[in-house]
Amino acid sequence: MWKRGKAAIHLILAPLLAIPSSGIAQDRVLAPPSGSAEPTNSPSFSWGKPLIGRLANGVRFAILPRQSQESGVALLMRNEGGFIAERRPGERGLAHLIEHVVFHSPTVGSPDDPDHFTRVGLQLTLPAPHVATTSWRESNYFLSSKTPQTGDLDSILALLREAASDLTFRPDTVDGQRISVMQEMADKKLGNEIYASYIAAVAPGSPNDVIDAQNSDDVSTANIDTIRGLYRRLYRPENMMIVVVGNVKVDDLKTLIDKRFGNWAPLTPTSHPAPFPTFQRDHIRPISFSALPQGRRTALVTVVMPTPVPPSSRDRQAQAEVMDLLVTRAVNNRLSTLQPANPAGKVGMFIENGEQGQRQIMLWDNYAEGLWEPAVANLQRVTCDLTVSGFTADEWEAAKLSLTNDLDRRAADMPKVANVDLAKELSHALADGRSLIPPDEMLRYARDTLPRIDVRSGNRWWRRQWGSGVEHLRVEGPEFAKVSDPVSAIRVTANEASSTPNCKAH
């Protein structure tokens, strides 16, 4: 049986980066994952061609047919408009509260059933560790059906439609979820503070800097009219996306989506959302620090730039992704070679492209107590050397081989990817205006193009990308509480590590 649990908050920065929670996303936890059959490596499990479109009322949809050994189908509902849309007084944190209320609210058709969503869903869907998230830009609800039968899928879509338009926000049920959200915010307070301080340093003025929804007093005090008003303003056909992934007939699913969502008309006039804020380039200082007593120990050198417009063609998108992956491997290999005795994940590089509201290229070193100076020196020396001298031919060839091997593993593991994970990836791609390129297609592209990508291409990429952003050196550690002038100390260490005046920290 599903059970309600505390939401989990994750910072989407790097798989290897040990960094505390960001507070930008909440996962609605209902039950531990259940076991499932292990899929086999067979070409029959490859992805089909997705059907992507929009209903007459504005609801977007994407249906990805896929053979697998999963018992059912993944269904995802994404609503554009998260914390950044809480622009009116008294609304901070209410998008997250609405996400919780969805699972414990009567609906117009079931006015006396506060657990309508879970009561219906229990019969049709598998338990899952997380079934909902809210970020600065959207709320997501994702379920996996027990069977691919048309009747079950239709019932789940009907349930999602009720969540999107028919909640009654009965006061007693809302009050119960206030307590849950407030406890979640209290549990994540330290992680939120760490992340907020970091973003304020590297990308001031960006969405995750200006949003304070995670530490909001409004959740406890907002009246029902305010909560319902935000719900009706955000949960609208033009803001909604339905994604289905699994062994389905595309035309049949499109008919079901149209049946459940096609007649949805909003109750309030269309509102034009204000543009998302972008980071303020001229407010980025060269160096910052954090000395929280319970904080992490890490040194990070980051460049931040505007999120690029997605490439217009599938080939150009694949080319951009291959170059990002290739340079990341080359830099990771160099960082690891310089510290061969350290465990995996202590050092690394990661590229984040748009999820936080901007493009970030980050190198990190999670240093041990008292060793912040070698960590800073190492990062400063590596970024300086790459800018001045670039990669070596051997490093570049090793990176190409590593990338090919990794893409080969990803292609082989395609059958093991859960339908719900593909649904999430497809929803993000569709929202960003990108194609979702399968690993086997990426592998074929890489094998065809990598022989023509020489080390000069990698060096040009690094200098252009690193030079187009604003570089920021940040060091975090409790020991800075005992340093009289941490910024000066960090600057001296970074400058001593640089061999070229152009690489000096300012």
Tell me the pLDDT tens digit for each residue of 271-293: 777 788 899 999 999 999 999 99
Cα–Cα distance for residue pair 217/450, rounded to 1 Å? 53
What pLDDT sits at residue 236?
95
Cα–Cα distance for residue pair 121/110, rounded to 1 Å? 14
Task: State if pTM tops 0.85.
Answer: yes
Cα–Cα distance for residue pair 238/242, rounded to 1 Å? 12
What pLDDT sits at residue 6?
28
- Counting other chains too, the contacts that 483-489 makes at CB distance below 8 Å and 24 or more residues apart are 483/291, 486/289, 486/291, 487/287, 487/288, 487/289
Query: What average pLDDT does range 13-24 have in this prediction?
Result: 29
Cβ atoms 307, 137 nearer than 8 A: no
What pLDDT sits at residue 106?
95
Tell me the pLDDT tens digit for each residue of 345-356: 899 999 998 888
List strands edge to edge, sheet with 359-365.
Answer: 287-290, 470-476, 298-305, 359-365, 347-353
- What are the two backbone dihedrals, phi and then psi, of residue 167, each rounded to the nearest 5 degrees? -70, 145
What pLDDT sits at residue 54?
97
What pLDDT sits at residue 457?
96
